[in-house]
Amino acid sequence: MKKITIIAAVAALACAAGLARAQDYPNAPFHLISGFPAGSTADISARVVGAKMGQILGQQLVVENRTGASSSIGAALVARAPKDGYMLFVASAANMVNAAMNASMSFDIMKDFAPIALITSTPTVLVVRPDLGVKSVTELIALAKAKPDTITFGTTGPGTIQRIATEYFAGIAGVKLVHVPYKGANETTTAILSGEIDMTINGMSNILPHIGEGKLKALAVSTVTRNPLAPDVPTMQEAGVPGYSSQGAFGLFAPAGTPKDIIAKIHADTAAVLAQPDVKKALEARSFVIGGAGPAEFEKFIADEHVKWQKVIKEADIKIN
């Protein structure tokens, strides 16, 4: 009985220590690492949420852009950071693709990070240049089958989520397309507007203004439900691509081993930020879909995305070099 009492007392002390640690956190400025350039969708999501988190937590939150290698440089920095919750990472779908394509990275996105919260997701849209002569996904697929290896698609690079998402579409549709890589989403958008390429699956925030002006023809959104900003555009599945779903996703990570009470506090504060009307308005105006999923749900989402993209990469024989 005495042994049980001692164990219970130790457990109570540990619990109390954890509660005190969470209540004391943060007591110094902390850093949010964005692996993409300022003004990118990942960076916008980080800054809108980060500004409010700093106010709630009562400490300065500094957003740092550590760009390069499709955000892997920023991820590597956080993977090596102290496990105290003072350096966080804004991960994106690009990190899942990197993990599926490159086993020799200096970190493991599945093991070296603790998922905290899914912040936002961004739907993508399959668009074609209007003079291509197709008005639906079914017509696009028919044209691609009639003229294999002639329909060109633009992406932000060989090993990026845009490339993988388009190969995913091509695999389900059973068509062969020609890849044309660009340096970024803006360059890809410019290319299709000028007629350099035939199609692209690109972020809604980049594409939406040009759809309204009639400069691009939207054939489908990538998500499983229609988007309120483009309610007349069908989903890929509605348009005849069964099982297809793809989206940009942005979430918070801490280094693996960060105390769970701190993880729980950051998630609770993130959810509170995302529920604020001005934050929702600012994000939704930029085509973001509000997230909020906690550590367990976010971890499952990451695992499912990793498996999906790994399968697509293998079947399409996609290589970075």
| Domain spans, the chain | 2-122+247-316, 124-221
pTM for the predicted model, two decimal places: 0.82
pLDDT band of residue 58 (cuts 50, 70, 90) is: confident
Give per-residue pLDDT as tens, 60-85.
889 999 988 778 899 999 999 999 99
Give per-residue pLDDT as tens, 237-257.
999 999 999 988 899 999 999
d(CA 266, CA 259): 11
Q: State the pLDDT at residue 51.
A: 86
Q: State the pLDDT at residue 18.
A: 46
Q: CA 232, 233, 239, 242 torsion: positive or negative?
A: negative
pLDDT band of residue 15 (cuts 50, 70, 90) is: very low
Mean pLDDT value of segment 144-152: 97
The DSSP code sequence of 258-316 is --HHHHHHHHHHHHHHHTSHHHHHHHHTTTPEE----HHHHHHHHHHHHHHHHHHHHHH
CATH topology of domain 2-122+247-316: D-Maltodextrin-Binding Protein; domain 2 (3.40.190)
Q: Give percent of the chain above pLDDT 90.
A: 55
124-221 has the same fold as 2-122+247-316:
yes
pLDDT band of residue 38 (cuts 50, 70, 90) is: confident
Q: State the pLDDT at residue 320.
A: 64
Kindly report the average pLDDT of the chain as a whole number: 88
CB distance 268 to 137 below 8 Å: no
Mean pLDDT value of segment 180-209: 92
Most confident of 7-16, 24-33, 37-46, 213-222: 213-222
pLDDT band of residue 21 (cuts 50, 70, 90) is: low
CATH, domain 124-221, list 2.40.50.140, 1.10.10.10, 3.40.190.10, 3.40.50.1820: 3.40.190.10
Question: Tokens in use for 208?
Answer: 């939406």
Cβ atoms within 10 A of the Cβ of 107, count? Answer: 20
Most confident of 94-103, 141-150, 220-229: 141-150
d(CA 275, CA 318): 39
Q: Is the model's pLDDT at 5 over the cut of 60?
A: no
3-state helix/strand/coil string of the chain = CHHHHHHHHHHHHHHHHHHHHHHHCCCCCEEEEECCCCCCHHHHHHHHHHHHHHHHHCCCEEEEECCCHHHHHHHHHHHCCCCCCCEEEEEEHHHHHHHHHCCCCCCCCCCCEEEEEEEEEEEEEEEECHHHCCCCHHHHHHHHHHCCCCCEEEECCCCCHHHHHHHHHHHHHCCCCEEEECCCHHHHHHHHHCCCCCEEEEEHHHHHHHHHCCCCEEEEECCCCCCCCCCCCCECCCCCCCCCCCEEEEEEEEECCCCHHHHHHHHHHHHHHHCCHHHHHHHHCCCCEECCCCHHHHHHHHHHHHHHHHHHHHHHCCCCC
Q: State the pLDDT at residue 12.
A: 44
